[in-house]
Chain A
């Protein structure tokens, strides 16, 4: 009997140990490192981080991408899920095709988009073939910040909408059909049914998808690096530069702590804003 009660803990122990050793422990070390400079405690690293040339840009760029990409991804994924509900034949194929970007690494995706958008890339070639431009048009330089931002947002949407879609799809499949059928009987329009019934019932899935997606978007790195390079610093790329190019681990740790703080704050906002009533949690 006692053994039976211990068994679950024994079975999860390896994963807990693994995460503590390789995640929590370094996390604590990084947090400590951020507040140390030359052996003494203080906020020196944070001052240097905030004082740096690229800090303001990195902060602004990260938020711009998150605030533009995440809502668009949510809307797109919702639309995709709803459309898929109406599909009878070929459903699996559609799900499969829509999830392809999930299998591609960030950097590879970034390089694909770079090949499309660079001066001699496919996009310019297409525009040239259509007679819309006569010579290569630059999209990714410091002189075209709006095009650069748009390119990164579009690439992010292409790459990561699938994860939101997959989570929402799983949620939708669990929804009971009865509520909607009842609403239909009482004459609710399709839009009303979506807004009043499906969306509220989907809230737990939306919350999960948003938390996951937002936290990952704040950690965006490879895409910005591939497409923007020096022209589009983001928080994590700055952390990387301080760590590997400037060899200043303290400032890099300060960036890491900042990204963590932002992620935690965003998660809390979602937890509160999309609170699921106790009776629905069943």
Chain B
């Protein structure tokens, strides 16, 4: 009886196994390895709305940013590379430039009509004299507020030119009137809070990120931010995507990556406003995020990957990408009139932020390779010490500064914007 039962199942399983093995090599799709669009929903949208129209098909695979370098080098050292196209941020591609990427000058030459952003194309050389990546899409971090919060804005404050002091006052006003703490930050384990410190708070208050890490201006900055935190929703240390607490009404004012705010804005464009990040004494620090497309050396599908680059930079595909995942175009495109109103709100806010007179561009960490995660930990640990545990800012900065120094010394990373260029490793002054 048992035997009779098991046999068809077993044969079925074996057949499936054999079929699976036989089918695997037949699908010669180009493998697209990306550190971007990792959230399942974003990846799924890319697959089903954008990549499905590419002839020949694409296998879209994601990888954690700190692991990208290890992954690509492991494939190359293994002698049987699988990934052809790499999609990653500027700073993530940098460490691969020396020996793992294929120059793409010929591809760039065929993309003359795209009107790619010149600054980003230049950044795509990654410090070499060859084109190492082609810009793919861009993003940044902005603020979003519920319209319910607007009546509480401090007197005389312009929401499009807010200072951090005014933001703190705004939060305090809301707390005084409603008894609730309605500012939110993505400080949970999978949130992007570290980018707020690296790209926004530090540049705005100190004009630098690494060199000014423990400067007197930084001490003042942390003291003030600790004050501001008193009006921040304590659930912030659990938040990952700020669109969720914004939609549920747990917070009224939030900072996050545009792709992690878009849901709130496109579902309820009439209930939210988007606006630039605040300014500090040194200016408005902000972090532009450029994602690029590169081809791995020895890629098994290099030609298909080149075609995929051409496809992804087509103006209509760039618009589709913006609509699907809220990363903005890098090619010259005319945004259609029927564009999602939430996306429109974001584009306007980003425009105002990047064109602000006191804007300070601050890049994602460059040259840290797989130590990027540890670098981020320095900033988050400092935040935990000073703001959440109330340690003395000066002592905490001194202690965390040692950790920062060790990472920079070991990777020999030179300074990146907004820190002034350095000869050799970026000094922590």
Q: What residues make up the interface of A, taking CB atoms closer than 8 Å to B?
A: 53, 119-120, 135-136, 138, 140-143, 225, 229-231, 241, 244-248
Chain B's nearest CB lies how many Å from the CB of A86?
A: 37
Measured in the bound complex, the distance between the Cα atoms of B388 and A138 in whole Å is 16
Between A and B, 21 residue pairs with Cβ closer than 8 Å are A53-B381, A119-B250, A135-B179, A138-B234, A142-B237, A142-B388, A143-B234, A225-B189, A229-B189, A229-B237, A229-B238, A230-B237, A230-B384, A244-B66, A246-B66, A246-B374, A247-B66, A247-B67, A247-B70, A247-B370, A247-B371
Mask, B384-426, CB within 8 Å of A = 1, is: 1100100000000000000000000000000000000000000
A245 touches B377 (CB 8 A): yes
Interface size on B, residues (CB 8 A): 26
Chain B residues within 8 Å of A241, by CB = 189
B180 touches A135 (CB 8 A): yes
B374 touches A120 (CB 8 A): no
Q: Which of A135, A136, A229, A247 is close to B188, meaning CB atoms less than 8 Å apart?
A: A229
Q: Which of A135, A136, A143, A231 has the most CB of B within 10 A?
A: A231
Residue of B nearest to A237 (CB): B189
Measured in the bound complex, the distance between the Cα atoms of B248 and A120 in whole Å is 8
Residue of A nearest to B370 (CB): A247
Residue of A nearest to B245 (CB): A119
Q: Which of B67, B234, B248, B374 is close to A142, meaning CB atoms less than 8 Å apart?
A: B234
Chain A residues within 8 Å of B385, by CB = 53
Q: A230-B384, A244-B64, A246-B377 are in contact. List 13 more A-B contacts (CB 8 A).
A: A120-B248, A138-B235, A141-B234, A143-B234, A230-B187, A230-B237, A241-B189, A244-B66, A245-B376, A247-B67, A247-B371, A247-B372, A247-B374
Chain A contact residues, majority secondary structure? loop
* A230 and B238 contact, Cβ closer than 8 Å, known pairs A53-B384, A119-B250, A120-B250: yes
Chain B residues within 8 Å of A140, by CB = 235, 238
Measured in the bound complex, the distance between the Cα atoms of B240 and A225 in whole Å is 13
Q: Which of B66, B237, B384 is close to A245, meaning CB atoms less than 8 Å apart?
A: B66
* A247 and B187 contact, Cβ closer than 8 Å, known pairs A141-B238, A142-B234: no
Chain B's nearest CB lies how many Å from the CB of A145?
A: 11
Query: Which residues of B, 175-199, contact A by the 8 Å Cβ criterion?
Result: 179-180, 187-189
| Interface check B115, CB cutoff 8 A | no
Chain B residues within 8 Å of A244, by CB = 64, 66-67, 373
Chain A's nearest CB lies how many Å from the CB of B261?
A: 19
Measured in the bound complex, the distance between the Cα atoms of B381 and A1 in whole Å is 67
* A248 and B374 contact, Cβ closer than 8 Å, known pairs A119-B235, A141-B234, A230-B189: yes
4 tightest A-B CB contacts, nearest first = A141-B234, A246-B374, A245-B373, A229-B238
Mask, B84-99, CB within 8 Å of A = 1, is: 0000000000000000
Measured in the bound complex, the distance between the Cα atoms of B315 and A1 in whole Å is 79
Measured in the bound complex, the distance between the Cα atoms of B239 and A230 in whole Å is 10
Query: Which residues of B, 349-388, contact A by the 8 Å Cβ criterion?
Result: 370-374, 376-377, 381, 384-385, 388
Measured in the bound complex, the distance between the Cα atoms of B362 and A191 in whole Å is 71
B66 touches A231 (CB 8 A): no
Measured in the bound complex, the distance between the Cα atoms of B251 and A120 in whole Å is 12
Chain B's nearest CB lies how many Å from the CB of A53?
A: 5
Chain B residues within 8 Å of A119, by CB = 235, 250
Chain B residues within 8 Å of A225, by CB = 189
Measured in the bound complex, the distance between the Cα atoms of B371 and A248 in whole Å is 8
Residue of A nearest to B396 (CB): A53
Residue of B nearest to A38 (CB): B410
Mask, B242-286, CB within 8 Å of A = 1, is: 000000101000000000000000000000000000000000000
Chain B residues within 8 Å of A138, by CB = 234-235
